[in-house]
Amino acid sequence: MQGVRKIREGRKQAFTLVELLVVITIIGILIALLLPAVQAAREAARRAQCQNNLKQIALALLNYEQTMKCLPPAITRIGGETGPWDGSVLRENWVICILPHLEQIGLYNSFQRGVPISDPVHASLRGTQLSVMMCPSDPYNRQMCSLSGGNWARGNYGANMLNSWAGDTNGWNNNLQRGLMDVNRAISLSEIRDGTSHTIMIAELRAGLVPTDRRGTWAMAMCGASGVCHHGCNYVVRPNSCSFGDDDLANCDQAVQDAGRDLMQRNCMGCFNPSGGSVCSQAAPRSCHTGGVFVAFADGSVHFISDFIETGAQYQPGFDPAPEKFLTWQRLIASSDGYPIDASKVQ
């Protein structure tokens, strides 16, 4: 008996079921506490990468301007600033113009001048994914856009065009509406009367949720694809504007059919196509970052602009120049409005 007792006393006690459940519960609580912190750290890293992308693009634009004495046109269109917007008349956009300054000289030289970017000869080129053009927070920027010949790689940054539709000469000549780059025209830094540190040059865009949504497409020369326009008026008066019809988008009906209205609404990516045509006439800056969008000013600095930035009530047609209606957001868009900007409100 004494030998048996010693054997029993020498055995290790196993965990009881209750003890095991307590340990599992504690581990689960620790994971639940740590997971949000891990996710927040990952998003912080993605935000930093997006901010760095904008910085590199802004520097490339400034280098281009120093060389050419003018910023590149947002859109190059054969036959003038207005008219049909089918792919046959659209050539290189501002992104293609600055490729040599983004260390993409080989890609730049491969594009054939005088040939539409939608031409099959450019299919593989426009399908090149450029990491510097992609915000890592956007979950939809890895799928190609299938419109206008297909195989268009995505991009998350657009030129600040003008506070009117692309190619609007009256809007471009209006100091309250002109941004920096438009169809077949752009300004030099010396023409920015409001100061380069008070004028948006590039803003974030979101990639379309489905292949038939052309928004966020780096080589496509259209508002919404690689530029923002009408983005401080006509009911779109702030970043990440969330009314369903805020973006006037060619092929909108097809995009809604493919994505579903509910998915678009949940992502604040609704669209509208009043004429049923091929023109993209309005697109707001958008991002997947909580609370706002990153923009690069014309001095190369990068800022995070809140969704709740001070905005004025501006509706087309016509602009009301009253200071109480032309506020911080509109003043950042226009390059020569002449209004002062309170730095404390640029957030």
Q: Is the omega angle on the peptide bond into residue 317 within 30 degrees of 0, that is, cis? A: yes
User: Following CA atoms 158, 162, 220, 347 in sequence, which dihedral angle do they give, to the nearest 10 degrees?
Assistant: 10
Instruction: Supply the pLDDT for residue 85.
Output: 67
CA-nearest of 155, 148, 268, 257 to 210 is 257
Q: What is the model's pLDDT at position 84?
A: 62
> How many degrees, rounded to 5, is the angle at CA 184 between CA 179 and CA 190?
45
The SS3 call for residue 187 is coil
Q: What is the pLDDT of residue 250?
A: 87
For residues 90 and 78, what is the distance between their CA atoms, to the nearest angstrom? 6
Count the neighbouring beta carbons within 10 Å of the beta carbon of residue 44.
10
229-271 tens-digit pLDDT: 999 988 888 999 998 888 998 889 999 999 999 999 999 999 9
Can you list the residues of the chain whose pLDDT is less than 70? Answer: 1-15, 37-39, 80-87, 274-278, 316-318
Q: Which runs of consecutive H residues, i.e. helices, occur in the chain?
A: 2-10, 17-68, 94-97, 105-110, 123-126, 169-172, 252-259, 261-266, 328-333
Give residue 281's pLDDT: 85
So what's the pLDDT on residue 1? 47
| pLDDT score, position 346 | 85
Q: Write the CB contacts of 308 (distance below 8 Å, at least 6 apart in sequence).
A: 238
Domain regions of the chain by residue span? 47-335
